[in-house]
Amino acid sequence: MSLATVSETRCFGGRQVTFKHDSRSTGTAMRVAVFLPPQAERGPVPAFWFLAGLTCTEDNFAQKAGAQRVAADLGLALIAPDTSPRGDGVPDDEAYDFGVGAGFYLDATEAPWSANFRMRAYIEDELPALLAAELPLDMDRQGLSGHSMGGHGALTIGLRNPGRFRAVSAFAPIASPMNCPWGEKALPRYLGPDRAAWRAYDACALIADGARLPEILVEQGTADPFLAQQLKPELLEDACREAGIGLTLNRRDGYDHSYFFIASFIADHLRWHSARLGL
Amino acid sequence: MSLATVSETRCFGGRQVTFKHDSRSTGTAMRVAVFLPPQAERGPVPAFWFLAGLTCTEDNFAQKAGAQRVAADLGLALIAPDTSPRGDGVPDDEAYDFGVGAGFYLDATEAPWSANFRMRAYIEDELPALLAAELPLDMDRQGLSGHSMGGHGALTIGLRNPGRFRAVSAFAPIASPMNCPWGEKALPRYLGPDRAAWRAYDACALIADGARLPEILVEQGTADPFLAQQLKPELLEDACREAGIGLTLNRRDGYDHSYFFIASFIADHLRWHSARLGL
């Protein structure tokens, strides 16, 4: 087994487990939090991926979203990866929005980041293969979601792999990193100055370049302090309208950027995914 | 208004608010997390208090228990205080189980702790009066619960104030601080060497001395690492049996001491309380 158990407890009749493993993508030990519903004791279950935002680890979604209750009802596994490599020897930056905790779900090409910051390869290829080999997951039925930087991750990974995920949603995603301060800071440092290389990591640019999903569900709080400057859901609305992608964008009055917002609507997303996963 | 709002957001259609205020009990600024359900916009609602455990702040229950969903359904406010005074000038100890984050819901009588560590007065008197004066709470309908050290707090405060709370429950409570290492360390330092003074802060001793509640609900995970040495629910079982108190002790196979355990059963407790609060 390449997955080592760091901690495990019962949760809503299933198992909440934190695994650790050595990643060839990042060159570090990586952790991932997995909820296996009671149904997983009888056979493979569909998987719901949730990519977290800036400063987060594998713990935030597992501990704060309250997703296990509905996942246990539906028979859905929850997979919450870390947001970057971390540990001794991993380059970092003092800022909260670059370096450790801020992997942006891309494969860096610029030194010193390129040695470890390969979260695209990790999330798209290495981790799914590892989990499929070692856990009772039905990888023909996967859904993908995320929050903020992880909403950007969910949208871009979903758009680049349209056959893999039967459902893609996001909470307060960074709609276009090429057009907001967080992305304008991170993309050149990770990827270099050529903006053409950034387009694979921008949902709106991917759509403009031809990537398609049948539909996307997005939740956005109107009291989110990052809404106007960083998240810009109107750019995703424009891109989807032009491309004929069915975007459902729910603007939620008075909700902010926190996990209180995610917790309030995660059941809606899990049920939306489960309908598309044949549950 | 003596309550200042630190943060506020919508949550399950209600409001999740962190308040700050100057406490005369502790001589410090104190924080408390309050969830007001949608029903509170139309009038006073019953209140469910949750006292947290060692190392916790007002955030842990609010962020990790997933209680707001059911509280919004039921029309129940959630009140989560901090676990001790904290800040400049407050004496502390390097240990996680004494000093800041470890107030044990008592009024210390020994220097240097007696100046600030007066969580009994704070939770029993000052905070209820303040919240009743400033928030739409029906203080004739209060329920009380807590976790670990906060479970001890809930049981002892409930037993000392039998008319005030219509329902008292606990998750993995310290059943008898006088008979476990956590208590044997904290009680003499806060209260001095006279064990008679400790009895007001020990649920089993209070019951032996005549305190009564009509019934108590306790949840306990069998995989809790603190079960045998620190929590000792069998002592509470013995005390309740001798006193004729109706104790329901649910031993939950495979659950540990974490908020995953609390989250799994908080809805049961909220519904149990709500039935006794006339909801």
CA distance B45 to B204: 32
pTM: 0.96
A74: containing domain: 4-277
A-chain residues within 8 Å CB-CB of B259?
63
pLDDT at residue A16, rounded to an integer: 98
Model confidence at A28, pLDDT cuts 50, 70, 90, reads very high
Q: Is it the case that residue A133 has pLDDT exceeding 90?
A: yes
| Residues of A that are catalytic | 148, 224, 257
Closest to B146 measured CA to CA, from B161, B158, B163: B158
The pairing of beta strand B4-11 with beta strand B29-36? unpaired
Check if B114 is active-site.
no
pLDDT at residue A279, rounded to an integer: 87
CA distance B247 to B204: 12
Q: Is it the case that residue A1 has pLDDT exceeding 80?
A: no
Closest to B246 measured CA to CA, from B223, B224, B222, B217: B217
Check if B273 is active-site.
no
Model confidence at A168, pLDDT cuts 50, 70, 90, reads very high
Q: Model confidence over B177-189: pLDDT tens digits?
A: 999 999 999 999 9
pLDDT at residue A179, rounded to an integer: 98
Higher local confidence (pLDDT), A1 or A192: A192
Interface of A with B (CB under 8 A): 9-13, 16, 63-64, 66, 68-69, 221, 223, 252-256, 258-261, 263-264, 267
Name the catalytic one among B148, B169, B176, B274.
B148
Residues A197 and A171 sit within 8 Å (Cβ to Cβ):
no
Q: Model confidence over A71-101: pLDDT tens digits?
A: 999 999 999 999 999 999 999 999 999 999 9
| Residues β-bridged to residue B78 | B35, B48
Total H helices, total E strands in chain B: 9, 9
pLDDT at residue B279, rounded to an integer: 87
DSSP state, residue B3: P
Start-end of H helices in A109-165: 119-121, 127-134, 149-160
CA Rg value for chain B: 17
CA distance A211 to B78: 46
| Residues contacting B164, CB < 8 A, separation 6+ | B142
Closest to A175 measured CA to CA, from A142, A197, A208: A208
CATH number, domain with residue B183: 3.40.50.1820
Check if B274 is active-site.
no
User: What is the rounded average pLDDT for all residues in chain A?
Assistant: 97
Tokens of A190: 């990770």
The mean pLDDT value for B198-213 works out to 98
Model confidence at B272, pLDDT cuts 50, 70, 90, reads very high
Are B256 and A69 a contacting pair at CB < 8 A?
A: no
> In this predicted complex, what is the ipTM?
0.94
The mean pLDDT value for A173-194 works out to 98
Assign B263 to helix, strand or coil: helix
Per the structure, the count of domains in chain A is 1
| Residues contacting A88, CB < 8 A, separation 6+ | none
Distance of residue A61 Cα from the nearest chain B Cα, in angstroms? 10
| Residues contacting A15, CB < 8 A, separation 6+ | A8, A9, A35, A36, A40
Closest to B65 measured CA to CA, from B279, B276, B268: B268
Are B260 and A64 a contacting pair at CB < 8 A?
A: no
Closest to B35 measured CA to CA, from B11, B58, B51: B11
Q: Which amino acid is at A177?
A: P
Residues B206 and B156 sit within 8 Å (Cβ to Cβ):
yes
Q: Which amino acid is at A277?
A: L
Q: Which amino acid is at B39?
A: Q
